[in-house]
Chains A and B, each alone.
Chain A
Amino acid sequence: MQFLTPFGFFLAALAVPILLLYMLKLRRKQVQVSSTFLWVQLLREQQANAPWQKLKRNLLLILQLLILAALVIAYARPAIQIPTVASGSVIVLLDGSASMSAVDVSPSRFEEARRSIQALIDGLSSASSMTLILVADSPQTLISAETDKTLLRQVVNNAHVTQGPADWQSAFALAAGVARGNQGNATIVVVSDGGLPEEGLPAVPGDVRFLPIGTANDNFAISAMALRPNEEGPQLFIEVSNFSDVDRSILLSIYANDELLDARQMQLQAGASESFTLDQLSKSSSIYKAQLSHPEGADDLDLLALDNTAYAVYESAASRRVLLVSNGNLFLEQLLASLPGIQPFRALPAEDGSLQIPNDPFDLYIFDGQIPAELPEANLLFINPSTNPLFNVGAMHNEFNNVRVNEGALTRFVDWSGVHILEARTVQTPSWAAALIESDSGPLVFAGETDGQRIAAVTFDLRQSDLPLQIAYPILFSNLIDYLAPPSAFDSLTSLSPGDALSLLRPPDAGRIVIASPSDQAYSLAAEQTTFTQTHELGFYAVNFLTQDSTRVQYFAVNLFDADESNIRPRELIQIGQETVTPSTSQQVGQRELWKWLIALALLVLMIEWQVYHRRPLPVRIPART
């Protein structure tokens, strides 16, 4: 026991005024009575418990002195020394990786880690400070060199476990930086279940202590899941690993768009992995989900649930299917063949001129002079169109005065100066469209959206102009086709790890991009922003490309697929630099201050004193004798 502000005991002198006041108060008032005969008798009977009577008479004084004593001692800040893991300048590296969600210790490893840090905070002496670093996919300094224990506890309570891996290299580099700032006197405390790399962690100045968390290693994981496009349809590859010490059988269920596709029971040896592939899956866009579960249907398969589910996304739009309906147009066919990411198809009218459109859905239909009786509900490009349900077309004209190109995303780099046209159809620009290139007689090229369809039209026959011979031709048509059949903004096939950034190719027409996370949180991507980094949740994300009239959705998946995290076996030792760190015991001396208890005691005694005071009736003056 020691006192941090011993001069506080001088306040004990306050007892003197209390005693003085009490003595003054105790000068008894004289009251005449007819006889003390009965009083003497009564008090003689009471003599048997006289000491208690005397004490009772002075009870208030004793209680008041007790309150003063408690307050004075509290002010002197008594502290007892308790053993603790670290003191002085403490840097805590709190493991916030996915494996800390394991529930082998109740309620979870992360909670246990929080508890041990709280104990560490309790044991901090008043001069000690603590820096808290949460080790996640990127280490965060939660609080730096703080001595206020309340603040520290609050920060620890607000720390959250992540679903991703931990970047120990960066964390140690950060800790080393903080430690050097303290001239190397810092103690670094690693609170972790041991998912640290076996080697390669940098040496840090100061002591390193290790508080291991966790007791068991019973865990299964989907350690890999990937899709590969193939001629016959995509291939799905799945690998399942058993990180526990026992052979177990588990149930693997695979869903495509939430419909059960395949389920199999797998017998997994301890520490072994097993993989298989599923072939000839549907060519349409799908979200595949693989899930491990207990074969007997029990709720808990293993200790870590995060890695029991994995997702893979197949996006058919990886190659855009374009149907050209034409009598034969060499310019267009060559152009489609040369554009990247385009899978061109061609439909010819029958002998009798009737038009048969294949039932397969296409991303884009190009009608070159031909109009089917019924327009498909898809994006359409009309070339030299006749009247159709979307807009009216008039007669041919050949007056092209004042041809102008309206600046925009679709006409960027289009140089129309050398283009000559023989004749074009007279068209009024529809209200839903904007003219891209127009003359005084009407639009030559226009584009727009109506009812969720993107429509573009070139009002003249390409063969009646020298456009195909100009530089403007591939640029304009590439723009139009990218607009009508947007290329994939990113590679959906590759799944990301938590914390990885997603690179987006912003489509030229995309207005707003909103990304919905697996927990349905929406992130809006600012204009010109091409990376998305909020990929901390496991599951699949929906990327919504919002334009004025339509929405396009593309998905990507974030999976753990990290053997270091899935292997939740608690580590006995960690290797840092050349040093092997074993679990720490409490070697240093910390302080626990006791003033709170004393204040509580003082309050309690104060309440008792109040009660005692009110049980005594106020003095009543006896009327003066006449």
Chain B
Amino acid sequence: MLFDESTLRKLNQLTLVAARVRAGAIKGERRSSRRGSSVEFADYRDYTPGDDLRRLDWNIYARLDRPFIKLLEEEEDLAVHILIDGSQSMNWGDGEAHKFNYARRLAAGLGAVALSAGDVVTVGFLRGGAVAAEYGPSRGQPSLPRLFQYLEGLEPGGTTDLNRSLREYSIRPRRAGLLILISDLLTAEGYETGLRQLQGRGHDAALIHVLAPDELDPPLAGDLQLVDIETEHGQDVSLDVGLRDLYRARARAWIQSTQLNCRSQGVRYQSAVTNHPWDQILLLRMRQAGIVK
């Protein structure tokens, strides 16, 4: 059960605090608690399902037969893109520590925060080198159950090619906004060019690096053949204490180099090990990392 009672309760709390927490802290200056109270017209924009119907410009609708939303002076919404890596390697971990579930919960949490704040939320499901499914763009708190429903329907599998998936996501015209990639990055091909391409489209990129604890410190020893559940590639390893230490060091170094790489590319980075509660990651760590505020 992805969204069980406790998860939902946590999500509800998130929406309650959403008045103070908003995605895209980088544009924090445009935050307003008196949303829609302004009368000064600024612009129109397309209606998206979930928008407050009270703001629909009925006059325009009557004349053009197309729904538009009036944007008032003090209000500027944000497009939030949440991309979930759905490769088989994400299908790993036991119970609460399951990486894909963890990623979905993070996505739900982020979505809840964004929707509550009136931002436009798009969720992309990356799988097999393509965008396998997409949700949104949608706006407004009423969209939340549908978002959950959508997330619940996702099924991980297949290989990852993040570069290709991200490029595909970037090709389609979208509003530039905050783009959050949730992935374990366990792919030989890398993710950098894809992210750079998205940054080129004007997206403000953030990366949530989801890893299971046993990926950092594998509880393995002896003469083993390790089978990759994603590629089914077998790797012979004679694991002794020394090699296990080497692996641990190697995993740490990999995380560190990824973090450095992200910083140099202007990508905000947050590592999330699945044995930490996901809501804390969302509320504390990601605020520290500047992904939410």
Contacts and interface: CB of A to CB of B under 8 A. Distances in A.
B254 A28 contact: no
Contacts of A37: 89, 186-188, 228
- Residue picked from A30, A37, A42, A623, most chain B C-beta under 10 Å: A37
Contacts of B188: 37, 40
B226 A31 contact: yes
A38 B251 contact: yes
B215 A39 contact: no
Interface in B194-247: 212, 214-215, 218-231, 233-238, 240-241, 243, 246-247
A619 B221 CA distance: 5
Interface stretch (A140-148, A180-188, A359-367, A610-618): A610-618
Interface centre among A30, A38, A618 (most CB of B within 10 A): A38
B225 A31 contact: yes
Contact of B186 (A35, A617, A625, A626): A35
B186 A31 contact: no
B94 interface: yes
Nearest to B87: A35
B237 A622 contact: no
B227 A43 contact: no
B279 interface: no
Contact of B227 (A32, A45, A623, A626): A32
A484 B236 CA distance: 109
Contact of A30 (B215, B221, B225): B225
A57 B242 CA distance: 12
B186 to A, nearest CB: 4
Given A34-B92, A38-B254, A43-B237, A622 B223 contact: no
Given A34-B89, A617-B240, A29 B254 contact: no
A578 interface: no
A33 interface: yes
Given A34-B186, A38-B250, A620 B219 contact: yes
Contacts of B228: 33-37
Counting chain A residues whose Cβ lies within 8 A of the other chain, the interface size class is 20 to 34
Chain B binding site: helix, strand, loop or mixed by DSSP? mixed
B275 to A, nearest CB: 15
Interface residues of B, number: 40
Contact of A29 (B92, B223, B240, B250): B223
A350 interface: no
Which of B223, B227, B234 counts the most A-chain CB atoms under 10 A from its CB? Answer: B223
A431 interface: no
B184 interface: yes
Contacts of B229: 32-35
Contacts of A33: 215, 218, 226-229
Contacts of B225: 28-31
Contacts of B220: 31, 620, 622
Given A38-B254, A39-B247, A42-B250, A31 B221 contact: no
A43 B225 CA distance: 13
B94 to A, nearest CB: 7
Contacts of A32: 226-227, 229
Contacts of B104: none
Contacts of A57: 223, 238
Contacts, number: 113
Nearest to A35: B186
Contacts of B231: 35-36
A417 interface: no
Contact of B234 (A26, A30, A620): A30
Contact of A26 (B223, B243, B250, B254): B223
B70 interface: no
Interface in A500-529: none
Contacts of A26: 223
Interface in A571-626: 615-620, 622-623, 625-626
Contacts of A34: 89, 92-93, 99, 184, 186, 212, 215, 228-230
A34 B251 CA distance: 14
Contacts of A25: 223
A41 interface: yes
Interface in B163-184: 184
Given A29-B224, A32-B227, A34-B230, A43 B235 contact: yes
A484 B15 CA distance: 137
A359 B246 CA distance: 110
Contact of B89 (A35, A39, A45, A617): A35
Interface in A261-306: none
Interface in A8-65: 25-26, 28-43, 45-46, 57
Nearest to B234: A30
A190 to B, nearest CB: 64
Nearest to B223: A28
A626 B94 contact: yes
A34 B187 CA distance: 11
A227 to B, nearest CB: 89
Contacts of B89: 34-35, 37
A36 B184 contact: no
A28 B236 CA distance: 8
A41 B237 CA distance: 12
A29 B222 contact: yes
Contacts of B247: 38-39, 42
Contacts of B227: 30-33, 36
Closest 3 pairs (CB-CB, A-B): A619-B222, A34-B92, A35-B186
7 contacts: A29-B224, A33-B229, A34-B215, A37-B228, A617-B221, A618-B222, A625-B94
Given A57-B238, A622-B220, A623-B94, 18 more contacts: A25-B223, A30-B227, A31-B226, A31-B227, A32-B227, A33-B228, A34-B186, A35-B186, A37-B186, A37-B187, A37-B228, A38-B250, A39-B226, A39-B235, A40-B235, A57-B223, A622-B214, A622-B219
